[in-house]
């Protein structure tokens, strides 16, 4: 009588092959999953903070953040009413909020270098949100707002007075690279959160209807983030926002 089935050796060989294939494909699948997760996460953060800013401005009966708040700490305290999360304090006394410079894992640019990596990000205050997301926030002190800040604003905007760096997997986890898991937004004085380098083919120096006066992600300058080139990674946020919140560059 014939017996149908597999020998132990055949089963072990098959399992071994499956294991090898899984090991080879898992990194690619994980990378693809992370890539697809980036856009929706950034879109949600941008909307959340823009809406929160609307609330804090209404609470203070003001149309600008710098007229409502004199320091980043005051701004963070107001935000905490509308953004679920908490400042990351340096110690148990909860007197001083930790800054990026005090992180054990220092952020770098897209390729892992330090050149053009964080642009004053060292002094930004860290704020931890649910789902492992961290943000680093700064607000320009009221007494440091200059005419140049106001003149740089276009359309309904009132000037770039703050920075928001979003780390979608937290500042304690690698890769901690701008354009990979860290993404740069600007905060306008009217509370709008703007993707750095946003608005395709927009040059505010010649077009008064432009979104913001910074080089765009698809320009020929250093801050490209298109299908062919990624430099330091700052404008990758604009690239993602302008492409329906999808990553088009080699992630």
Residue 12 belongs to some domain of the structure: no
Residue 7 belongs to some domain of the structure: no
Tally Cβ neighbours within 10 Å of residue 164.
23
Predicted pLDDT at 6: 59
Residue 96 belongs to some domain of the structure: yes
Percentage of the chain exceeding pLDDT 90: 27
Give residue 183's domain range.
34-242
Summarize the confidence of residues 235-243 as an average pLDDT. 92
Residue 121 belongs to some domain of the structure: yes
pTM here is 0.81
Residue 6 belongs to some domain of the structure: no
Residue 50 belongs to some domain of the structure: yes
Residue 25 belongs to some domain of the structure: no
Residue 18 belongs to some domain of the structure: no
Q: Ranked by mean pLDDT, which of 61-75, 187-201, 208-222 comes out on top?
A: 61-75
Q: How does residue 144 score in pLDDT terms, banded at 50, 70 and 90?
A: confident
Q: Per the structure, how many domains does the chain have? A: 1
């Amino acid at each position: 009588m014939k017996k149908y089935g597999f020998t132990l050796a055949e089963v072990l060989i098959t399992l071994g092959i499956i294991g090898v294939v899984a090991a080879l494909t898992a990194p690619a699948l994980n990378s693809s999953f992370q890539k697809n997760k980036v856009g929706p996460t950034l879109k949600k953060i941008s909307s959340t903070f823009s809406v929160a800013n609307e609330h804090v401005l209404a609470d203070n009966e003001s149309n600008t953040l710098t007229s409502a708040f004199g320091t980043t700490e005051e701004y963070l305290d107001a935000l905490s009413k509308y953004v679920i999360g908490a400042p990351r304090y340096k110690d148990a006394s909860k007197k001083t909020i930790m800054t990026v410079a005090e992180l054990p894992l220092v952020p770098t640019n897209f390729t892992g270098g330090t050149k053009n990596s964080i642009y004053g990000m060292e002094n930004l205050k860290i704020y931890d949100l649910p789902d492992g997301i961290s943000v680093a926030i700064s607000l320009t002190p009221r007494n440091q707002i200059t005419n140049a800040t106001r003149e740089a604003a276009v359309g309904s905007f009132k000037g770039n007075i703050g920075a928001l760096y979003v780390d979608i997997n937290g500042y304690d986890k690698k890769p901690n690279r701008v354009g990979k898991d860290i993404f740069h937004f600007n905060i306008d004085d009217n509370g709008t959160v703007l993707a750095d380098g946003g608005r395709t083919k927009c040059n505010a120096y010649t077009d008064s209807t432009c979104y913001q006066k910074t080089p765009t992600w698809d320009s020929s300058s250093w801050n490209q983030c298109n299908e062919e080139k990624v430099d330091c990674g700052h404008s990758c946020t604009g690239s993602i926002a302008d492409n329906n919140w999808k990553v088009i560059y080699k992630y």
